[in-house]
Amino acid sequence: MQRGGSRILGKASLWLAGGSLYATTCYFSYHYWRLMKSDVAASDIPLSVMEHGQRMQQFQKIANHYDDDIGRDEQVLGIPILRRMLLFFHARGTCLEVGAGTARNLPYYRTSSNVVNRVVLSDASEQMLEQAKEKIRALPVTKRSRFATLKADAAELREVFPDNSFDTVIDTFGLCSFQDPVAVLKELSRICKPTGKILLLEHGRSHSWEFITKHLDSHALEHAANWGCVWNRDLDKILEEASDDLEVDVLSRYHLGTTYYIVCRPRK
């Protein structure tokens, strides 16, 4: 009996070690491949590429091949599982997603079981929203009616939504792309009901693995030029700066501390 137990334990550790090795290898291969694929030399990138307008232009440009480009990487890194978990466990009632892009979270909202009644997908890029609309049109009629799109700046929603409008507010991989991520978090808190949740799935600098952060820092401009996103932002600092307006309930880190899974509550 004891021997059987230790055999199971041995197998489990082997799976765990193998899984960790696989995830780490995938992570580094992913970054290596990204850099090799890049068509902009680091020395060619003007600092102004970090400006909002230019990054938005880049989002407009990459919108119609965004899913093809990003999809495989996300699969390899297990991102769809994190998206699914976040929305399955925490998205409820009337939801607003900001920086929704091409609606990559669309399949994970629990609209069939009425856990989620209505979802507004908003983004500042028309081209990104065009991709989202196409996906919504492809849904069965009963599901389709639950979704709407809106062109809006996530930092300036005051004219569109009054305080306490939504049960759940969502942003996935947007804090890397917004000009003022702290202003967006404050806005998300404002429009979220006092009993609601703010859900974030983000990437940023690692505080536990210095070499990976150095790597992100040294290729940040190049990455922003290609993808419109600043991948080395300090998310802990951003959350701290927004802490008068929101309280973090869950914060889990993946991929050597560069992927952040966060569940917050508005502080009212």
Ligand X SMILES: C[S@@+](CC[C@H](N)C(=O)[O-])C[C@H]1O[C@@H](n2cnc3c(N)ncnc32)[C@H](O)[C@@H]1O
Name the residues that contact ligand X, by CB under 6 A. Answer: 59, 98-101, 104, 123-125, 128, 153-155, 172-174, 177-179, 229
CB of 36 vs ligand X, minimal distance in Å? 21
Tokens 């306490």: give the residue.
164
Q: Which single residue brings its beta carbon nearest to ligand X? A: 101
Please tell me the distance from the alpha carbon of residue 100 to that of residue 83, in angstroms, as a whole number: 12
Degrees, nearest 5: CA angle 222-202-200:
150
Q: Which two tokens stand for residue 127?
A: 């081209």
Query: Nearer Cβ to ligand X, position 98 or 198?
Result: 98
Distance of CA 152 to the CA centre of its chain: 17
- Ranges of beta strands (E only) in 35-143 are 93-97, 116-123
CB of 16 vs ligand X, minimal distance in Å? 28
Query: Nearer Cβ to ligand X, position 149 or 172?
Result: 172
Q: Which two tokens stand for residue 91?
A: 């998205």
Q: Which amino acid makes up residue 159?
A: E
Query: Nearer Cβ to ligand X, position 132 or 246?
Result: 132
* Helices first, then strands: H and E counts in the chain: 9, 7
Contact assessment for residue 203 and residue 175, using Cβ atoms and an 8 Å cutoff: no
CB of 89 vs ligand X, minimal distance in Å? 17
Q: For 156, what's the count of Cα atoms within 13 Å in the CB-facing half-sphere?
A: 5
CB of 84 vs ligand X, minimal distance in Å? 12
Distance of CA 235 to the CA centre of its chain: 12
Query: Nearer Cβ to ligand X, position 100 or 169?
Result: 100
Distance of CA 115 to the CA centre of its chain: 21
Query: Nearer Cβ to ligand X, position 100 or 221?
Result: 100
Query: Nearer Cβ to ligand X, position 11 or 262?
Result: 262
List the one residue out of 143, 156, 148 whose CA is nearest residue 129: 148
Contact assessment for residue 30 and residue 76, using Cβ atoms and an 8 Å cutoff: yes
CB of 183 vs ligand X, minimal distance in Å? 9
Calculated CA dihedral for residues 180, 231, 34, 81, nearest 10 degrees: -100
CB of 229 vs ligand X, minimal distance in Å? 5
CB of 56 vs ligand X, minimal distance in Å? 6
Query: Nearer Cβ to ligand X, position 50 or 210?
Result: 50
